[in-house]
Amino acid sequence: MIRYFYTLLLFLLSPILLLTLYKKKPGKPSFGARWKEHFGVTPPLKDQLQSPIWIHTVSVGETIAATPFIRALKQKYPNIPIVITTTTSTGAEQASKLADVAEHRFMPIDLPFAIKGFLRAIKPQQMLIMETELWPNTLHYVHKYGVSITVINARLSERSALRYKKFQPIFNLLSENLDKVLCQHQEDAERFIRLGVTPERVKVTGSLKFDISVSEESLKSGEQLRSQLGKKRPVWIAASTHQGEDEQVLNAHKLLLEKYPDALLLLVPRHPERFDDVYLLCEQQGFNAHRRTSTIQTLSILTQVYLADTMGEMMLLLAASDVCFMGGSLLGDKVGGHNLLEPAAVGLPCLIGPSYYNFTDITNQLTNAKAAFICKNTDEMTAHLTSLFSSEEQRLTCKKNAFTVIQRNQGAVQKTVSNIQLL
């Protein structure tokens, strides 16, 4: 009865949800004619000789995190086709980088006719869901179709667990269809079990995000960019900032310039639709700002803010920096932070605001190792930046500590792959 009510509600709300999904935004790839895939009009795979493995990764972040796992899984099962689904067009763009090992399709909306259409076209033998993207109808019909469902890299914060506890029947509706839940940490596993998932279905395999590797191409491109920016000047990056954080970051940079007049801020808004607004904000604040995509402006030693108005270049930008502040962490409970592992993997000292509940374990490990530092406000951010830029030795120590944390936690890819058994 709960699922029927949910289906009716989703059907009524779907026009609004789809309008938001399809809305054109600067820098956002178009869905084009592929919008039909959201309704289950899904083209069959090029290779349908065997039933494929279906991996759902939602959007960009999950696709990036799943990439080493997908490649390792293909190595283990080279003859089994893999299909990756994402909901967003930016996720599709990221998935296209895996075209040598997997095909991409858009995830059908969670309505019965769309899910059934996808299943008829793709005929998967197993579904792997990245993290905790659980949809009632998808789980119900995939399970009914006889397809094994495994959640990989599963995480469940205490906050989410308490919310699910209040609506236990809804969680039961989801969890009864799951064959395995492969968790990032022991705490996640304990929360799933506490909510009623039987212990034999739950395992701890570690976080796939720790099995991160930085390509030589990214490092080389970062080095080339740094030569353009200025090798000797202090350069810091504010990554994945949200509305309401840019002002705080720019205020910190203004204070930093008093100590280091040649300091440069690489500002990377999380959402491409905000690029124009953030550039306007930089100008209004009186900064000499340069847009990465500009063919008119001249980048010089006088440039104070470098606005990275592109997508998919985060590793390159990090590799061109000395220190990283991670956004999504200065807005109270609205966002809950972003992943510090990418800057840590490049060897950058990391700064983060006080709200990081989405990445509590990763952040705590890095802060305990003194590879990352929590900034409650602009003044603390400026103080940490000043301290780090005044001591190359401190920055090198942070780099060493970050590498130690990452190496200590690696191995999740192989543990996860070993728990995927195909027919």
Q: Rg of the Cα trace of the chain?
A: 22
Locate tokens 């939602």: which residue?
58
Q: Do 28 and 90 form a contact (C-beta atoms < 8 A)?
A: yes
Which candidate, 250, 242, 280, places its Cα nearest to that of 266? Answer: 250
Q: Do 47 and 74 form a contact (C-beta atoms < 8 A)?
A: no
Phi, psi for 106 (deg, rounded to 5) = -80, 145
The end-to-end CA distance of the chain, in Å, is 33
Q: Do 398 and 349 form a contact (C-beta atoms < 8 A)?
A: yes
**137-to-6, 134, 141, 172 alpha-carbon distances in Å:** 9, 9, 6, 13
**219-to-316, 323, 338, 345 alpha-carbon distances in Å:** 6, 15, 22, 11
Distance separating alpha carbons of residues 63 and 56, to the nearest angstrom: 9
Distance separating alpha carbons of residues 193 and 272, to the nearest angstrom: 39
Catalytic residues: 62
List Cβ neighbours of 25 (8 Å cut-off, separation of 6 or more). Answer: 271, 272, 273
Q: Do 165 and 157 form a contact (C-beta atoms < 8 A)?
A: no
Helices (DSSP H) in 132-263: which residue ranges? 136-144, 158-166, 168-175, 186-194, 216-229, 246-259
Q: Do 326 and 241 form a contact (C-beta atoms < 8 A)?
A: no
Distance separating alpha carbons of residues 124 and 131, to the nearest angstrom: 19
- Type of residue numbered 389: F
Distance separating alpha carbons of residues 34 and 149, to the nearest angstrom: 26
Locate tokens 């690029």: which residue?
275
E strand or H helix that includes residue 404: helix 392-409
Distance separating alpha carbons of residues 97 and 78, to the nearest angstrom: 18
- Type of residue numbered 57: T
